Amino acid sequence: MSVCAFVPFRTTVCGIQELPDHALAGVTHLVSILDPDREPLSAFDDYGPHHRIDLRFDDIVIEMPERMAPVDRHLERVLAFGQRLSAEAGAEHHLLVHCHMGISRSTAAMALILTQARPDRPAVEALAEVVRIRPQAWPNLRMLEIGGDMLGRRLELLEAVREVYQRRAQGQADWLRFLRENHRERELAHMG
């Protein structure tokens, strides 16, 4: 959990295995992103009362047969949820966003929520905040493109994520190989 100076609520990004660690953290708002075929999680049974949206799509950046790519309706739900949170947010609110590993889908969703919450601040600051709370962040490019279009901030978000990719890729040969093997070349090309 991180106290966030960027927005007036606390923020956390994590993976499935870390969810039990946050059961007593006072999470009030939760974005759960799972693969379409994943069994429902029982971890939330131990959480206190909270508002939650459950999304199901694969961590991919291109259309692929028999896989569910993130599409407009997913990002519309993320942004609507973030907008409701921002409208009521205070120090007692705590947003947790998770996906399988807490690296790609969840960090993209958090970046979009923070960018939307602070239209007065550059997107690069929102991405920097995501990296601060989740250093291993590699936000899903397709989600940023779609959500960026919805916010009218696509180019700004794509410039900001380029820096995140470049820093994260340094000395990470295994990670870069994983991306190539999983059809994430668009993100690698985006590094410039």
Question: For 127-151, how does the pLDDT look when each residue is reduced to its tens digit (9 = 90+)?
Answer: 999 999 999 999 999 999 999 999 9
Q: Residue 48 is encoded by which pair of tokens?
A: 């206190």
Which of 7, 1, 4 lies closest to 89, judged by CA?
7
Closest CA to 9 of 133, 135, 147: 133
Report which of 151, 83, 86, 136 is spatially closest to residue 106, judged by C-alpha positions: 136
CA distance 15 to 103: 8
Task: For residues 175-181, give the mean pLDDT.
Answer: 93
Between CA 10 and CA 14, with CA 13 as vertex, the angle to 5 degrees is: 135
**76 three-class SS:** helix
**pLDDT tens-digit readout, 41-89:** 999 999 999 999 999 999 999 999 999 999 999 999 999 999 999 999 8
pLDDT mean across residues, the chain? 95
